[in-house]
Amino acid sequence: MRRKSLHLLALSAAIALGAPSVGTVAAQEVVKIGLIMPMTGVLGPVGKQAVAGARLYVAQHGDVVAGRKIELIVRDDASLPDNSKRIAQEMLVTDKVAILGGGLTPNVLAIAPLVTESKTATVVMVSGTSIVTERSPYFVRTSWTHAQQASVLAKWAARNGSKRVTIIASDWAPGHEASGVFASTFTQAGGSVVETLKVPLVNPDFSPFLQRAHDANPDTLFVFVPASQAAILAKQFVERGLDKSGIKLIGPGDIADDEDLPGMSEAMVGMVTAGFYSAYHPSRINRDYVAAFRKANSNVRPNFISVSAYDGMHLIYEALKKTAGNSDGPALVEAMKGMAWESPRGPMSIDAKTRDVVQDIYIRRVEKVEGALYSVEFETFKEVADPTKLANR
């Protein structure tokens, strides 16, 4: 605790001596936006999609907003929270960054005290953990929450014949949150959870868990695993014959990640997921977004992370317009509250009270379309807010 206090005192002193504040930021010609993302390592693809989405927005909308020049500064935290904290401090003090873009949950939580102390508007572009926006009044989220997707999928499953569900979830915070919300919502809707199986996050072998699920004879299997492991789970699901047993396989949108789907096997076909974005979303704005993203990124398909950062930049640009270029943190956050717009994902807004994203959640089925796998939407839940925050109001 003493070390944390010293960090905050050092940051406060640096701000007093010349880091961005209410007066100095507004007087600067350039508005620097610092993106702290995992660009290397296992989660490098996450950061690369986010940065690509942010850069595409700037390329399409120009680098001048309300008379202020926009400069993106990207730093790699390698998924390490301590790195995020150090980088944030350097950006605020040395680089004189006015606005931050945050990544993974542990990394965003690590910078929360610095963001609060410096009153820096920070757009959460990746984290899906519900509590994040509660950790600083200067956090505003444009990504999603695990609870949004899990609650919608539970309601849909209960309405569509699922009575007994077994849950297989990775043993980490997102898995705990998603499985907990799914179980609570599903049981409230009249269903029952047969068992919740926690799978090791690193190098998992799903076979014994799938066999245990099969033996329990559920009608539905809800899975929450990192996108990179979804193909393995689906393959083992088929290998063990669960696809022919009548057990339905469902999960959050993360497991049918658009970047990974093209390389997955046809074992994914038929999997039902709940998500807020699909590259196959049938709107003109999304078709244009996918085409532009592919052109700018060697034909890589954009995913839900990319559009979260793209919308994060939109939020920043529109807030700067509302403040006439004033990049003071409190003014920007106030401008962001209640903002609504049409995104490649569909309509979305920022809850004025929670500073969290409100968006449509789609029920999708993995299908093969013109030789490629896509999540094809077939039902929409409108204007979904984070259910954990609604419960606490």
**Does one domain contain both 230 and 370?**
yes
In a domain, 306, yes or no: yes
Residuewise pLDDT in 10s, the chain (393 residues): 444 444 544 455 444 444 444 444 444 489 999 999 999 988 899 999 999 999 999 999 999 999 999 999 999 999 999 999 999 999 999 999 999 999 999 999 999 999 999 999 999 999 999 999 999 999 999 999 999 999 999 999 999 999 999 999 999 888 999 999 999 999 999 999 999 999 998 878 999 999 999 999 999 999 999 877 888 898 899 888 888 889 999 999 988 999 999 988 888 899 999 999 999 999 999 999 999 999 999 999 999 999 999 999 999 999 999 999 999 999 999 999 999 999 999 999 999 999 999 999 999 999 999 999 999 999 999 999 999 887 666
**Does one domain contain both 87 and 190?**
no
67-96 pLDDT, tens per residue? Answer: 999 999 999 999 999 999 999 999 999 999
In a domain, 68, yes or no: yes
Q: What is the pLDDT of residue 22?
A: 41
**Does one domain contain both 268 and 304?**
no
In a domain, 254, yes or no: yes
In a domain, 280, yes or no: no
Bridge partners of 141, per DSSP, are: 124
Furthest-apart CA atoms within the chain: distance in Å: 68
**Does one domain contain both 308 and 370?**
no
In a domain, 281, yes or no: no
Q: What is the pLDDT of residue 11?
A: 53
Distances 390 to 37, 109, 348, 353 between C-alpha atoms, Å: 29, 22, 17, 11
**Does one domain contain both 46 and 161?**
no
Q: Report the CATH number at residue 87.
A: 3.40.50.2300
In a domain, 387, yes or no: yes
**Does one domain contain both 177 and 225?**
yes
Cβ distance 264 to 234 under 8 Å?
yes
**Does one domain contain both 138 and 155?**
no
193 lies in which domain range? 147-275+360-391
In a domain, 166, yes or no: yes
**Does one domain contain both 387 and 257?**
yes
**Does one domain contain both 99 and 110?**
yes
Centroid of chain to Cα 327: 24
**Does one domain contain both 207 and 303?**
no
172-198 in b/e form (b: 16+ CB < 10 A) is: bebbbbbbbbbbbbbeeeebebbebbe
In a domain, 269, yes or no: yes
Per the structure, how many domains does the chain have? 2
**Does one domain contain both 207 and 341?**
no
**Does one domain contain both 229 and 376?**
yes
